[in-house]
Structure 1
Amino acid sequence: MTTRAIMVAAPRSGGGKTTLTLALLAALERRGLRVGAVKTGPDYIDPAFHAAITGRPGLNLDSWCMSPDLLHEVMQAACQDVDVLVVESAMGLFDGLSLPDGQRGAPSDIAAFFGIPVLFVLDMSGQGQSVGPIAKGFAQWSPHVQVNGVVLNRVASARHERLGREAVQAAGLPVYGALMRQSGQTLPERHLGLVQAREHGNLAGWLADLADKAERELDLDGILAAAAPLHSGREMYNPAGLLPPPGQRIAVADDAAFSFLYGHLALFWRRAGAELAPFSPLADDPPDPSCTACWLPGGYPELHAGQLAQATKFYAGLRAFAQTRPVHGECGGFMVLGQGLEDAQGVRHGMAGLLGHTTSFAKRKLNLGYREATLVNDGVLGARGARLRGHEFHYATVLDGGADAPLASLRSGIGEELGMCGGQRGFVSGSFFHVLATVAEQAQEV
C-alpha cells in the first residue's frame, strides 16, 4: 500500500503543531492504521513523542543539513510499512535561513521537495476573523507549497469557532476541525523545549485523551482524504551525506540525562552493520568494554549533575575505555567529559576530566543555530578537513576552555565564521555541536 502523507504546520512556534500531530497519530493508530511520523529540522524531543505512539524510530528531515539523497533515504525509512505519515514542521512553515528556497532548513522546503500537502493549524487565542487572511496569505505565498486545509486551535467557544471557520472558508480553504481550549492538554516545557516523553508521568493516558479529543473535534476522514500519496524516490544503502558509524560496536549513553541521539543516525549505523549497546550513566553503568567506540549524546546532564558526580563506576569505566578507544560527546555529553559542571544554583560538580574545559548552567546564555563544522584533525567523526552539518542549542557557558586541541572550526548556516569549537585529546573528543550529516564535496541542492 502506498504511504499517504500530510504536514502539520503553523505560522509560528507554540501554535499547537505538536498537540495536533500527536492527536492525529493517536486517533489514526486507534483506527488500525499503521502510522509514522517525521519532524522537520533538528529537534530531538518531538520525535521521541512520535515514537511513543508509532513504535518506530523518531526521524528528522532537514533541507540545510541533509543532501537530497539522504532526505530520500530518511523518507524511505519513515514510510516503510506505514499507511499514513504525519510530518510535523518546526517553527513557522516558511521559517528558515536567508538562503534560496530548497536549502533554507525551512519546513516549506520539505513540503515542496516531497510534494506533501500542508494541514495548517491556527491558534485562535486573542483573535477571531483575522485567522482568515492569515490562512489565505500562507496558502498563496508559494506556488510550490500546497496548503490543503486548516485546523483551528485553542478555540474558546462555539461562537469563537464559527467566526474562525467562516473566515477561513471565505479564504477558500476547508476547515478540518477545531480543538477546543481546555486544561490538561498542554505538554510541560523546560529550557530546551518540551519535557521528554520518557519523563512524562502518564503519557499513555494523556495520548488516549488526545485521541478522544481528535475523534470528537477533528474531521479525521477529511484529513485522511487531504493526505497525498508519497513518492520518495529509490532506496539507497549508502546515501551521500550519511555520517559513518563511529565504531563496529558502539556504547551509547541512554537515559534521562543523555537522550539526544538522532534516530536516522542510529538506524543507518545499524544498517551499516554496527551494533549499539545502550548504558545508563545515571544508573552508574560504565560503557561495555567489548565496544569499539563510546558516544555520549546531548540531553540534560545539568539537571542531574549531582547524581552524575557520584557515578564512580561510570567514570572509572569511561576513563579506562578512553585509553584505547574513541569517546565522543555532543553538547551535554561534551559537558560531562570536562573537568566540572556548575549547576543552576552555582554548585560545581566534578565530571569525567577527560577534557580540560569547565562549563556552567548558572551563567546561562542561549546558543542556537545551524552550524557547519570543519574538522581540525583526524578523529572519530572523520578525517581532517571533513565538513559536517548540524546545529547548536544550549544555554551552558564555558567558564574555562582548557588547553585541549580544538575539534573543529565553525561557521553559521549562512557562512559566518564563528571560530573554533570543542576539544580533542587522544581518543577523546567533543563539542556543543550536534551532527546530523556530512557534506559532500559538490554543492548541495534540494
Structure 2
Amino acid sequence: MNSLSKTTQFLAGLQWLFFMFANTVVIPLTIGDAFDLSSVEVVSALQRSFIYTGAACILQAVFGHRYPLMEGQSGLWWGAILSLSASAASAGISVNELGGGLAVGIICSGVLVTILGALGMGNFLKRLFTPVVMSTVLFLLASQLIIIFTKGMLGLATENKIHIPTSSLSIFLILLTIWINIKGPKAIRNFSILIGIVIGWIIYVLFFPSAAADEQVTVKLFNLFPWGTPTFSLGLIIMAVITGLVNTTNTIAAVKGVEPLLQTTTSDKQYRKSFVLTGINSVFSGLFGMVPYAPYISSLGFLQSTLIFERLPLIIGAVMFMILGLVPSFSHLFSTLPISVGDAVLFVAYLQLFSGALNNLEGIRFSPKTIYRIAGPVLLGIAIMNIPAEMFSSIPMLVRPLISSGLLMGIILAIVLENTINWSKVEQIETAKKVKSRNIG
C-alpha cells in the first residue's frame, strides 16, 4: 500500500518525467548528427525514444527488477557509437555502412544478452561486483556525467567558449537546488529537482529569448533501420557483442546500488527478468535506430536527492513520458527545455553518486599497497576520459570503443584486480609487518 498522497505521487511522477527527459533528449540529437540523419528522422527518433523509454521503465518496474530505476539509452553504448561514427571516415567506411552494420551487431548483442540473462548470467556477474568494484563504477560514472553536465552548464554545448549569462543562471540553480535539499521546508525538499528545473526554465524564457523557428515536420515513428541498410560486418558484430556484455554491468551496479536504499535483497529471478528485458530492448533498439538500453545507475543519485523510493511515481512519470512521444505538440514544448537548465539541476542530483561510492568503501582499510585496488581503476578511468577521442585513431576499430572508454577500462581493471589478488591476505601481511616492527622497536 502506498504511503504517499495522490498529489505527492503526481508531483513525484512529474519530477521523474523531467529526469527522464533531461537524460534522453540529447541522445537522439547527437546520434542524428553522427549518422547525418534528416530532420524528419531526428524528430522521429526523439519521439520514438520518449515512447520506448517510458515503456521500458514500466516493464522493468512491473515485470523486471521491480525497482524505481530509470531504464534508458545506455551512456556506455552512446559513447561507443559516437566514437565509432567519429572514426568511420579514417577507417574507410561510410556512416550509412557503419549504421547498418551496427544495427545488426546490436540486435545480435540483444539476443545474446536475452539468452544469457534467462540462463542466470546475473549470478556470475554478482560475484564479480565487490564493494570496491561498485565504488569504482560510481566514482567513474559520477566523473563522466559531471564533466558532461559542467560543459552544458557553462554553455559549451552550443559555443566554443564559456557563456557568462548561462553560467550565472546555472550557478544560481545549483545553489538553489542544494539549499532546498539541505535547508528547504520539509514539504518541498523532496521536489528540489522539479522546482529547480521549473524555476530555471521560467528564468531562461524571460531572460534568454529564443529566435528558433517553429518548424513542423511529419514524423515516421516506426521506420526500420534508419541508421542505414543492414550489413553483415564481423568486426562490428564482435564489438557490439562485447559492448553489450559489458553494458550488463549497468544492471548489476544499479540493482546492487538500490538495495541499501530500499533495504532489500534482489532475487535471482529478478536479475533474470531484468536481463531478459534489457536484451529485448536492445533488439528493438537495433531495429528502430535507438541507443541500446540499460538501468540507469544515475537513478541512485536521483533517489537519494528526492528520498522518494516508491515505484508508482516512476510509473506515472513513464506514462507521461510516453504521452510526450505520442503527442507531437507536447514533444515540441518539452524540446524547448534549455539543456543548460537540466544539466545544472542534474549536476546536484548526480553528486549523490559520490556518496554511494564512499558508502561502498565503508569498513575497508587501505594501506600503501592495498590502495592500488581503488586508486588504479579510478585514476586510470579519469585519465582516459580526459584524452580527446581523436587521439585513439591509431587503435584498431574492433577494440577502439573499449580502449577509449575510461568508464569501461576502469571497471575492467577493478574487476581484474579484485578477482586475481587476495587483498585480505596482502592486508594481513602488512599488519603483521607493522606489529613485528613495533615489537622490534
**TM superposition score normalised by structure 2:** 0.28
Structure with the higher fraction of residues in helix conformation? 2
Structure with the higher fraction of residues in strand conformation? 1
**TM superposition score normalised by structure 1:** 0.28
